[in-house]
Amino acid sequence: MKTAYINCRIRNSEATAVLVEDSIIARVGTTEEILKEDPEETVDLCGMYLMPSFADTHMHLLGTGRYLSELILNGSTLKQIGEKLKKAEPQNGWIIGRGYSENDFDEGEVLNKAFLDSISTEVPIALTRVCGHKMTVNSKVLEIIGISEDYIAEGARIIFATGAVEENAIPMVHNAEPVPDEKMLKEYIRKASAYCNAKGITVCGSDDFLSVVKNYKPVLNAFEQMSFQEEMTVRVNQQCEFNDAKEFSGFLDEGYTMDVGNDFFRIGPLKMLADGSMGAHTAALTKPYLNDGDNAGYLCESEDDIRLFVKLANRFNMATIIHAIGDKAVDTVLKVFDEEVLEGNPLHHGLVHCQIMREDQVKKVLEKKISCYIQTLFIDEDAQLMKQIPEDLRNTSYPYRTLFEGTIASNGSDSPVELPDPLRGILLAETRTSLKTNEFMEPETEKMSRTQAIDSYVSAGCRQLFMDDRLGEIREGYLADFIVLDNDIDHCDQETLKKTSVQMTVMNGRTVYEKH
């Protein structure tokens, strides 16, 4: 099948048309040249902007699919949350919601167990905070998971009186929730992929093994089946998370390691978490948060455990990427990487998030070429949180431009923390100003240029995932993944960028989204 896309402006090119043959970009040229190739189908793009599709290099596709199926509480006041809960139909006997933030509440409003009990003490209600690192549950949930007093363990905390469930205690709730079967998992993948396609994304790094079910096997099955049946509309590079070292070595034993798979679904790096989130004050800092007593967050994984996993992964040529938000977590990870990462970092061992950092850490990251998975979308929520960070750390934190210029820094959403939205992420990278609160995030010097911001979602993303030899450019022989936008986002002003939307998304030569 030959399809000609004609009369367009093409990013970084003088050409005005593209010929797609099956899944490949067969030719790039002028509209006249391409029409001479006898296409079976012709799509007139009437002067619109055609560019490579976006890569979202760290997200949770399954979690996003589930999120889109659940009660969405983002931006809701407590009163609105109450109304939504009263109207909600329990699914498999539970009411599950996500996305609440105290920042959205009216003064004096507090979300706690008592509030949820006033809705129901019979139906389990579990609500996850916008950051994903804290939940609030009702007494029915505490009863189901067998909690009748405060629970404190390494990196985990449940407060009985308020129904707050934090960090490593969160899986206790998820494990009690009804487990989705494989059909449901595929439905989540489809739902999230369709959402991504509408935002111009056709490739992602996705961390799914533990995010919805505790066991990686049904998740792996669902992805593999969908990839073999060519049902995927987003290419997935799986960032593999495990319950323990035994489970990880069992996975390796089965012959899985980084790069096993195909262009629709491929095993990516090992994924670990070193600390929590900024919003919940669980990200590990070297000094306390301001106005929060002596709380400096905490590590969820010891340095020794991280070393053990990194060594094991390394033996199988598998990179490790580690969630590290606070500078103490970054210290811990960099110490291990300093010992275990080869010169030039050929496997792309990486830091996910890279938020609160000191100058010496940024220097080390660039020196060792540590891969960085950044989320410029976080500026929206985090710009105002910077006031809670010790002042001397602020000027070197969220150092997006420096990281982009000195190593591979690829962008993403960490969805469902923020839903995928590259166009918004590009704008936030350029302005460092929250679109929600209008708050500016220092320092000025870390604003990315427009080209850098776009490339953090395109060339850097494809490079990060080792796909830059076939994705990320409109080039003959490359896979036919591209998007059509109503404006030239490389050269338009910020107001135009804000109004720009994806008109069409093509993945593997197939139209997977069209705006109507």
Count of chain residues binding Zn ion (CB under 5 A): 1
The β-bridge relationship of strands 164-167 and 134-137 is antiparallel
Query: How many Cα atoms sit within 13 Å of 142 on the Cβ side?
Result: 25
Contact window for Zn ion (CB under 5 A) among 14-22, 25-33, 373-381, 413-421: 413-421
70 binds Zn ion (CB under 5 A): no
Q: Kindly tell me the number of DSSP H helices and DSSP E strands found in the chain.
A: 19, 24
| CB 299 to Zn ion: min, Å | 17
Burial of 71 (0-12, 13-18, 19+ CB in 10 A): buried
CA distance to 17, 74, 253, 285, 459, per residue, from 135 (Å): 50, 14, 35, 22, 36
* Residue showing the smallest CB distance to Zn ion in the complex: 414
CB of 15 or CB of 278, closer to Zn ion: 278
CB of 119 or CB of 280, closer to Zn ion: 280
CB of 200 or CB of 412, closer to Zn ion: 412
Contact window for Zn ion (CB under 5 A) among 4-12, 151-159, 409-417, 474-482: 409-417
Contact window for Zn ion (CB under 5 A) among 1-9, 23-31, 284-292, 410-418: 410-418
Q: Are 461 and 54 in contact (CB under 8 A)?
A: yes
CB of 167 or CB of 414, closer to Zn ion: 414
- Per-residue mark of binding to Zn ion, 180-199 (x: CB under 5 A): --------------------
Residue 207: both structure tokens together: 């961390």
104 binds Zn ion (CB under 5 A): no
| CB 207 to Zn ion: min, Å | 5
CB of 235 or CB of 271, closer to Zn ion: 271
Angle at 460 between CA 305 and CA 265, to 5 degrees: 65
| CB 274 to Zn ion: min, Å | 12
- CB burial of 354-370 (b: ≥16 within 10 Å; e: otherwise) equals bbbbbeebbebbbebbb
CB of 52 or CB of 63, closer to Zn ion: 63
414 binds Zn ion (CB under 5 A): yes
| CB 63 to Zn ion: min, Å | 8
Query: How many Cα atoms sit within 13 Å of 230 on the Cβ side?
Result: 6
Q: Are 285 and 327 in contact (CB under 8 A)?
A: yes
Alpha carbon dihedral 429, 272, 212, 121, in 10-degree steps, equals: -90
Query: How many Cα atoms sit within 13 Å of 19 on the Cβ side?
Result: 19
Contact window for Zn ion (CB under 5 A) among 25-33, 277-285, 333-341, 414-422: 414-422
Widest pairwise Cα distance in the chain: 75
| CB 354 to Zn ion: min, Å | 13
CB of 5 or CB of 298, closer to Zn ion: 298
| DSSP states of 141-199 | HHHHTT-SS-EEETTEEEETTTTEEEETTHHHHHHHSPPP-HHHHHHHHHHHHHHHHHT
CB of 39 or CB of 297, closer to Zn ion: 297
- Per-residue mark of binding to Zn ion, 361-400 (x: CB under 5 A): ----------------------------------------
CB of 325 or CB of 489, closer to Zn ion: 325
Q: Return phi, psi of residue 394, to 5°.
A: -65, -40
| CB 132 to Zn ion: min, Å | 7
Chain contacts with Zn ion (rule: CB under 5 A): 414
